[in-house]
């Protein structure tokens, strides 16, 4: 009897290990993504992104671009921690990565170059929120644009739109394809954490 009981325990243990192995394998293959699409294929505005990893904030103000900068605001860029970690290890973002770029105006310029003076000195400072753009890596959905989809939830003060249709190639993807196709369609050079791969 003990012999058969031991055999049953051994078989059950092996089956359990096999189950865990297969479950882990499926989990590894299943990519979690914050991106949520509605029935019309529009992306829903991500939530909680200000708690993600902040990777940088490039600025090209109007006053330094003859009043006609393509992107006159600060670009506050956020990426979920697990996707930053993956990039630091592999040099590319995993399937399902969402990158949020929230815009802020330059705070009330007082000089012709768009700067102002504060206790810390003369410079550029964040003003009001002024829009949000999102990119999503999904090789099936966005195969025509190097695996990334681009979405704009408005370039205006809060509140932002709740959903956004994919932007045209001319609006977003074309510039990324022409300039940063070699760095996973992302302006890595502007984000020291990603550029230098130093961790955090």
User: What is the arithmetic mean of pLDDT over 86-115?
Assistant: 96
Q: Are 153 and 160 in contact (CB under 8 A)?
A: yes
Domain that holds residue 127: 34-196
Residues 103, 49: contact at Cβ < 8 Å? no
Give the number of domains in the chain.
2
End-to-end CA distance of the chain: 58
User: The domain that contains 116 carries what CATH number?
Assistant: 3.50.70.20
What's the rounded mean pLDDT across residues 103-115?
95
Kindly indicate the confidence band of residue 21, based on its pLDDT and cuts at 50, 70 and 90.
Answer: very low
Residue range 40-54, pLDDT digits in tens: 999 999 999 999 999
Which residues of the chain form beta strands (DSSP E)?
43-44, 53-56, 74-79, 98-106, 116-118, 121-123, 126-137, 148-152, 163-164
Residue 31 pLDDT: 63
Q: Are residues 64 and 117 in the same domain?
A: yes
Higher pLDDT, 12 or 170: 170
pLDDT digits (tens, 9 = 90+) for 52-62: 999 999 999 99
77, 168: one domain:
yes
Same domain for 15 and 99, yes or no, is no
Query: Is residue 67 located within the same domain as residue 151?
Result: yes
With b for 16 or more beta-carbon neighbours within 10 A and e for fewer, the 62-94 pattern comes to: bbeeeeeeebbbbbbbbbbeebbebbeeeeebe
User: Considering only CA atoms, which of 126, 4, 140, 21 is closest in space to residue 75?
Assistant: 126
């Amino acid at each position: 009897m003990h012999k058969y009981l031991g055999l049953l325990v051994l078989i059950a243990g092996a089956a359990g290990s096999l189950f865990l192995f297969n479950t882990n394998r499926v989990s590894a293959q299943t990519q979690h993504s914050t991106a949520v699409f509605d029935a019309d294929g529009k992306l829903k505005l991500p939530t909680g992104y200000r708690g993600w990893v902040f990777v940088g904030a490039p600025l090209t103000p109007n006053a330094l671009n003859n009043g006609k900068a393509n992107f006159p605001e600060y670009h506050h860029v956020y990426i979920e921690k697990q996707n930053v970690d993956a990039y630091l290890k592999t040099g590319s973002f995993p399937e399902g990565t969402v990158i949020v770029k929230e815009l802020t105006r330059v705070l009330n310029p007082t000089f012709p170059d768009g700067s102002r003076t504060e206790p810390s000195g003369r410079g550029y400072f964040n003003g009001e929120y002024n829009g949000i753009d999102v990119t999503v890596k999904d090789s099936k959905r966005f195969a025509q644009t190097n695996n990334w989809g681009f979405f704009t939830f408005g370039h205006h003060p809060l509140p932002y739109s709740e959903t956004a249709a994919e932007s045209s190639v001319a609006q977003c993807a074309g510039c990324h394809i022409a300039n940063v196709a070699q760095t996973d369609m992302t302006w890595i050079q502007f984000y020291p954490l990603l550029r230098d791969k130093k961790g955090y």
